[in-house]
Amino acid sequence: MDKRVKWGIIILVGAGLIGLGIHNFTPKENEELNEASPTIKTNKKKSLNVNAQIIKPHLLTDQLFVSGKLMPDEEVDLSFETSGKIIDINFTEGSFVTKGQLLAKVNDSQLQAQLDRLKAQMPLAEDRVFRQNALLQRDAVSKEAYEQVKTELATLHADIENIKANIDMTELRAPFDGVIGLRQVSVGAYASPTTVIAKLTKITPLKVEFAVPERYARQIKKGTRLSFKIEGRLDAFDAQVYATESSIDPETHTLTVRALYPNTNGELLPGRYADITLKQNEIKDAIAIPSEAIVPEMGKNKVFVYRSGVAQPVDVEIGIRTEAEVQIVRGLAAGDTILTSGTLQLRTGMPVVLDNIN
């Protein structure tokens, strides 16, 4: 083979190999990426439908919500001060009784006999004093003799009063107006001072007892008004604080408070739980927003506002909280439009469409 032909073939083969290498290492267009790119671009521009609210200053009431219980104004387990057999029960279970009303009695026949005997001695003792005094006026008797009969008369009076006191102890009387509960004994039973006859409860007025966190302790004072609700009733009842405990409970770090509810008609019974609302401060022209608009992030609070069709985050400083709103003390102003839904999906600069504006 001719030498020129041989070198020509070698040159052609080398050029082919070089061309193939250049083709393999040249970057090619990614068809899958090209197909996905329009979707990504579309997603970047996709807007989110949200609800919004235009901030309008309004009155904001700082309220404290706690649980409590209704308590009777007075309550006592009734029992006799002495022992004996019950001979009479003079009350109807569940009825209203008045202060001083006789409720029950134990046998006092022996005491009555002693009282009669002492009373029978009174005329003679009084006559002795009268006669001795007349004799003393004429110096016919010593003063010591006169003092002796006076002492005997005074002792007789004291014995009579003692017997009467013992007789009073055989009578069980209502210490205050109230509703008497179920009786625990029957006529003929033997009662002692430890025997409970029935429970007497004063339900007009009622006490409302509850506890507040220690940070509110100085805000709760005598005269503070509150309202409460109980299960099964839609209406609220108004009460007024009349006393607070003298110190903070070191275990619960709360202050026990009591209020009075008139309960004029006796419609509420003690022992029920109550949901209590305490009004603290009223702030006029407050900037307040729904609590769901707040987005906590790394120890800070932010909200998203609507500006030129997109969502923009704003750091805010919050004040008091109510059941549904949060006061904003810095970061927002009247007229700002805040986004109240989809807050977890929102990002800086994301386009948004306002579905509902309050």
State pLDDT tens for residues 185-227.
Answer: 999 999 999 999 999 999 999 999 999 999 888 889 999 999 9
Say whether both 160 and 96 belong to one domain: yes
Q: Which residues contact 91 (CB under 8 A, 6 or more apart)?
A: 97, 101, 103, 104, 180, 183, 198
| Nearest residue to 106 (alpha-carbon basis) of 166, 165, 170 | 170
Global pTM value: 0.65
* pLDDT at site 9: 64
Say whether both 235 and 207 belong to one domain: yes
H or E element: which one contains 210?
A: strand 198-213
Domain count, the chain: 3
* pLDDT at site 299: 83
State in Å, rounded, how far the first CA of the chain is from the last one: 95
Query: Which residues of the chain are modeled with pLDDT < 50?
Result: 32-43
CATH of the domain at 123: 2.40.50.100
In a domain, 40, yes or no: no
CA atoms within a 13 Å half-sphere pointing along the CA-CB vector of 88: 11
The angle subtended at Cα 331 by Cα 325 and Cα 337, nearest 5°, is 65
In a domain, 182, yes or no: yes
* pLDDT at site 5: 57
**Class of residue 169 by CB neighbours under 10 A (exposed 0-12, middle 13-18, buried 19+):** middle
C-alpha torsion 177→183→186→189, nearest 10: -90
Q: Which residues contact 243 (CB under 8 A, 6 or more apart)?
A: 222, 257, 258
Say whether both 95 and 169 belong to one domain: yes
* pLDDT at site 257: 97
* pLDDT at site 132: 87
Say whether both 320 and 331 belong to one domain: yes
Domain range holding 296? 48-58+285-357
In a domain, 2, yes or no: no
User: DSSP state, 351?
Assistant: B
